[in-house]
Amino acid sequence: MEWGGTIAGVAIPLGDDESIDWTSLESHLESFVGRGLTGVVVNADTGEGALLSPDERDAVLRFAVRQIGDRLPVATGLLPAHTAAAAATARVAGDLGAAALQVFTPPVFMGAPLDGKHVAAYYEAIAAATDVPLIVYQAPAGLGVTFELDVLKRLAEVPGVQAIKESSWSMSRFSESAAVFAGDRHEVALLSGEDSFILDSLLGGADGAMLAAAACDAAAYARMWALRREPAAAGIQTALDPYIERLFAPPLREFRARLKAVLAHDGAIATSMVRSPLRPIGGDEAAALIESLADARARIAGG
């Protein structure tokens, strides 16, 4: 897995009965190839990983690696579990061909103060079970555990940790992380998961990006990364801003249903079904979102 570029989140298409639509998943995966990405990630927030069963997550990873793994590295979410179970799952993911593991932190680590040594022990057990690179997931407050900087520093020293996905959606927290991890300041790569201020985070020192928004229009986000220091990147960001604001509007958990509404409208997947207890968004919201993205695409195409 190359960290200097854009890694896209993969949505998991579902049929009306909420079973995985493998035909749609195949076409969705193929849509990422040749778009300038450095990889994709399955079974993470974008892919409703927490709502899939362990067997489904293994099946999705196996399918993705077989489908595109020879052309694009496939990372996977490692969902929260007790330590021994997480280590065992990591071992299986490595055997299935995962290029990296985005480690989701158990909810028991929520709250402050948090002693970094306990979290580090969790990561150390996972790292001991696999040679697959680990990505520390710094989640937004509405989706998971957000670490203080001292905990991130401790995790960055765990052998096997190669990247930190900074997704706190806080400019101040991102700036703190960039001051420690960006560029050659640390051997661990800093990935931006800041979908709401992508370009600013890239210019602020992120070594790469790992974005839910890139599940749709992946080429635009890859191009933003490639042109991040040129005026054209600002034009792409400005065009996308109204759409991104709608996609990640409160409540944040609904971004998955919104993203699927767009993908279904594009014909990239067959339906906009999400796994319950999530629910598809309403028609008016979907129409406004689709219109916003259409306007963004037109502005980007117009230069």
Run means of pLDDT, 10 residues per run, the chain, 303 residues: 96 97 98 98 97 98 98 97 97 98 93 90 98 95 87 96 95 94 90 94 95 96 95 96 96 96 97 97 97 97 86
149-156 helix and 116-129 helix, angle to the nearest 10 degrees: 30
* Domain carrying residue 18: 6-230
Q: What's the CATH code of the domain at 96?
A: 3.20.20.70
Do the beta carbons of residue 93 and residue 130 sit within 8 Å?
Answer: yes
Match 């800041």 to its residue by tokens: 194
Domain assignment present for 27: yes
Assigned domain for 163 exists: yes
The answer to whether 175 touches 149, Cβ cutoff 8 Å, is no
**Is the pTM here over 0.75, yes or no?**
yes
How are the residues of the chain apportioned to helix, strand and coil, as percentages rounded to the nearest 5?
50, 10, 40
Q: Which residue reads 């960006």 in tokens? A: 182
Distance, CA of 186 to CA of 23 (rounded, Å): 42
Ramachandran region, residue 147 (left: φ > 0; alpha: ψ -120 to 50; beta: rest): beta
Q: Tokens representing 202?
A: 């890239």
Residue 275 domain-assigned (yes or no): no
For residue 200, what pLDDT is reported? 96
CA distance 81 to 88: 10
Taken as a whole, the chain contains a residue count of 303
Query: Contact, 279 vs 51, CB < 8 A?
Result: no
Residues 6+ positions from 241 with CB-CB distance below 8 Å: none
> Does residue 271 belong to any structural domain of this protein?
no
What pLDDT sits at residue 45?
94
Domain count, the chain: 1
292 part of a folded domain: no
Residue 251: Cβ-neighbour burial (10 angstroms; 0-12, 13-18, 19+): exposed
Contact predicate 100/162, CB 8 Å:
yes
> What does the pLDDT read at residue 185?
85
How many Å from the N-terminal Cα to the C-terminal Cα in the chain? 31
Task: Quick: pLDDT tens for 133-184.
Answer: 999 999 987 788 899 999 999 999 999 999 999 999 999 999 999 999 988 8
Report helix, strand or coil for 111: coil
In a domain, 264, yes or no: no
**CA angle, 222 then 225 then 228, to 5°:** 145
One-letter amino acid at 286 equals A
pLDDT of residue 254: 96
Residue 146 lies in a domain: yes
Please indicate, yes or no, if residue 20 is contained in any of the structural domains.
yes
